[in-house]
A and B are shown apart, each in its own frame.
Chain A
Amino acid sequence: MNIIGKRNLWFAVSAVLIALGIFGFSYNILVRGQAMNFGIDFTGGSITTLRFEQSANVTSRLAEVRKVLSSFHFKESVIQKEGDNDVSIRTEPLDAEIRTQMMAELEKTFGRVELLEADTIGPVIGAELRSQAFWALLIATIGILIYVSFRFEFKYAVAAVIALWHDALITVGLIALLYRSVDTAFIAAILTIMGYSINDTIVIFDRIRENIINQKKGKVSFSEIANTSVLQTMARSINTVLTVLVMNVCLLLFGGATLKDFALTLLIGFTLGGYSSIFIASPILVMLEGSLGKPTKKPS
């Protein structure tokens, strides 16, 4: 199988995925007014999650919840069901007093209400998070560039970083398309994806490095060596991703609501990570080597 040779096909697949993400961003901006479903971690605000008694049957009475809350004249409020008896209410930042009043009002209509979680974030923190996220991604990228350059060569580092940005970018795009809420944990997920997706890429590069050393006096082109290496490591590339995905799917299926979006982001990212190490990283390395077909010299 010639994976390197068919690289335009893989690049096309990735281009489609990236385009999907860009479509998601554009659609969100035009229709919903923001590129992604930014959580209060980014925008500031309050989310209050309440558990109602089962007999209140609250999830089918969200309109009534909305009516009760209308007396508080929140600038904007989003009411969502979170489970059979749980409802989350997103508003501008609330102080404790108003929250207590709000719960008291709801109790008049629905019976006992239990506070599951209340999260209030001022706009300052949101702005900080955005800049921190930017720096974290930059620093992680630089760290990986330096390490891989040091252990391999600069072009390997560039190829690896392109592949992991590919994964991160598409993941962000798809999450935007699905309009899932993004918060601090999302940033953590993206960084984890970057850290893990490079794993398989390195395994392949390690094999390329080894095959170059072991090759017989420069008869084989770099592109052939890369292709052989990808094929030789294919089973492990797939299996390593598979074991992590298994755990990931379990988290998504059985884990608590708090971790669902986190697990979904990782699931998308890890899958892409497996794909990109095989189909993106090595072809890019070959292109960077600029020697498609040319024999490669043994590194001295």
Chain B
Amino acid sequence: MRPVRIYNRKIMGENLIKLKILGGLALVALSILIIYNLPLTLGLDIQGGTRLVLEARSTDSVKAGDDAVSGVMAVVRNRIDALGVTEPIIQRKGSNQIVVELPGVKNPEHAIKVLGETALLEFAEAEWSPGDESVLTQEKVEQVYGKGARLDKVISYKNGERESERPIIIKNSVLTGADLKGAWPSVDEYGNPVVDIEFNAKGAGIFANATERSVGRPIAILLDKKIISAPTVREPIPSGKAQISGNFTIEEVQDLVVQLKGGSLPVPVDIVGTKIVGPTLGRDSLDKSKIAGAVGFLAIVVFMILYYRLPGVLAVISLVIYFFLTLAVLSVLRTTLTLPGIAGFLLSIGMAVDANVIIFERLKEELRLGKNIRIAVDVSFKRAFTAILDSNVTTIIAAMTLFWLGTGTIKGFAVTLIAGISVSMFSAIVITKFLMDLMIDWKMVDSADSGLLYRGFGKK
């Protein structure tokens, strides 16, 4: 370590002082401007909403690898957009999880259902079961109708009541939702809610062929491997247009349209975590945090001024500047303000005065050595610098680990902490130093015995 070079700082010229003060005020003004124009997004825990953790599950045919998870994310994003949620957050977490945050969603159960379903739409050639299906084993079905064929049943409803069921043989699936061009909610001729679909060119071609082959036989429409209907083909359909009916309610039709438009998930997902925060709780907590912050801030102000007198007042001024600067930095970083984030910010206020305390205590020592106050101030800032830097870097190392570990709310906490600590070094070392220089140049304090300093400042 190099010894500290001691030199006699020149008295600042009046223009320089004016310039620096103006610069400081401009910085604060800019911060306030930023805070107002780029308001911080409130986290889910404050404004209420739903947070889901989805986990992609491997199937026999598709592994839940990078591609599949990216595919799931794209589909989930499409569906969320179709649901009309503003400012959703969709993040990858770990190798196969996706965190979805839907602020302000009023009906979380609905969102969970729409996002979590695979919505794999399939059109399969089929045949009505010829007779006594109780004797049909899976082996026999495959023997007669080809590999992959299976026995299932179509359930028909009337007025929402289960009316009858009819055994059906599902053969190969010919088309999936991937070949859709569009889907719309509609009603059939009896006024029942249905979904109108249209295939793209490739899908239309396949559909035309399939319907041609299947005249007089049913085509099964399956959603997530469940039969929703099995209309009998009367004539080939070359247009690529079809209608899906299946005892839907209007809501179900709308959800299905959202899911079909967004595409089906490439692999199934499990919902491994959900968090629903009602709007009341968040508002409550926010108000309480504000009170806690205000009282804490005031207590620190009183402590600093009573203990350190004029330097304490200067520290409080830089603390106020710190407050605005940090909020502005958080705004620029587009941080989401969560409750732990607010806690982190409030704690960082307590930590921000630390640097000032370290400097002032050092100043006390330097003055006790009988140094001239001007030199003592310079030396104490210089000497305190390494302590402030090293101690803050170690805190930042821990906060970075937290950032890496955390999701959502905890990340928010880590970001506020890191931003706060970084800004606090600036405010203590640059702003407080300038104010202290000013205090000396304006001869507010000219000796260590001044009553404006802490009693022990100059005494042994």
Contact = CB atoms under 8 A, between A and B. Distances in A.
Interface of A: 49, 51, 96-97, 100, 114-122, 124-125, 128, 132-133, 135-136, 139-140, 143-144, 147-148, 151-152, 160, 184-185, 187-188, 191-192, 194-196, 198-200, 202-203, 206-207, 209-210, 213, 232-233, 235-236, 239-240, 242-251, 253-259, 262-263, 266
A259 B391 contact: no
B398 A122 contact: no
A117 B281 contact: yes
A140 B404 CA distance: 11
B404 to A, nearest CB: 7
B278 A132 contact: no
A130 to B, nearest CB: 12
B112 interface: yes
Most buried by A among B53, B339, B350, B399: B350
Contact of A209 (B1, B278, B303): B1
B27 interface: no
10 contacts: A120-B274, A122-B272, A124-B55, A147-B394, A187-B410, A191-B399, A240-B353, A246-B303, A255-B288, A259-B343
B354 A199 contact: yes
A256 to B, nearest CB: 3
Give 6 closest A-B pairs by Cβ, nearest first. Answer: A195-B398, A256-B285, A250-B296, A96-B109, A122-B272, A244-B350
A140 B112 CA distance: 36
Contact of B300 (A124, A191, A246): A246
Contact of B357 (A49, A139, A243, A259): A243
Most buried by A among B343, B398, B399: B398
B397 interface: yes
Contact of B405 (A187, A232, A259): A187
B438 to A, nearest CB: 23
Contacts of A188: 340, 402, 406, 410, 413-414
Contact of B410 (A184, A200, A209): A184
A247 B276 contact: no
Nearest to A213: B1
Interface residues of B, number: 79
Given A114-B280, A124-B272, A256-B288, A147 B402 contact: no
B365 interface: yes
B394 A148 contact: yes
Contacts of A128: 94
A188 B400 CA distance: 11
A262 B340 contact: yes
Contacts of B274: 96, 118-120
Given A96-B108, A256-B339, A266-B347, A251 B296 contact: yes
Given A203-B387, A239-B357, A117 B277 contact: yes
Contact of B343 (A209, A243, A263): A263
Interface in B36-64: 45, 53, 55
Interface in B348-396: 349-351, 353-354, 357-358, 361-362, 364-365, 383, 386-387, 390-396
Given A192-B413, A243-B350, A256-B285, 6 more contacts: A125-B273, A140-B397, A143-B401, A210-B1, A213-B3, A243-B300
Given A246-B299, A254-B288, A144 B280 contact: no
A200 B406 CA distance: 26
Contacts of B405: 132-133, 135-136, 187, 191
A121 B273 contact: yes
A212 to B, nearest CB: 10
Given A136-B404, A188-B340, A236 B397 contact: no
A242 B304 CA distance: 11
Contacts of B340: 185, 188, 259, 262
B275 interface: yes
A256 B284 contact: yes
B275 A251 contact: no
B295 interface: yes
B417 interface: yes
A187 B406 CA distance: 9
Contact of A256 (B3, B94, B289, B400): B289
A284 B82 CA distance: 61
A242 B276 CA distance: 37
Interface string B274-312: 111110110011111101110111011001100100000
B87 interface: no
A267 to B, nearest CB: 11
A153 to B, nearest CB: 12
A125 B344 CA distance: 24
Given A240-B358, A247-B347, A192 B399 contact: yes
B446 interface: no
Contacts of B55: 122, 124
Contacts of B358: 203, 236, 240
A96 B115 CA distance: 14
A291 B144 CA distance: 91
Contacts of B304: 243
A184 B286 CA distance: 20
A145 B271 CA distance: 39
B281 A243 contact: no
A281 B274 CA distance: 43
Contacts of B295: 250, 253-254
Contacts of A184: 406, 409-410
A196 B344 CA distance: 12
B346 interface: yes
B291 A254 contact: yes
B394 A202 contact: yes
A191 B398 contact: yes
Nearest to B275: A119
B224 interface: no
B188 interface: no
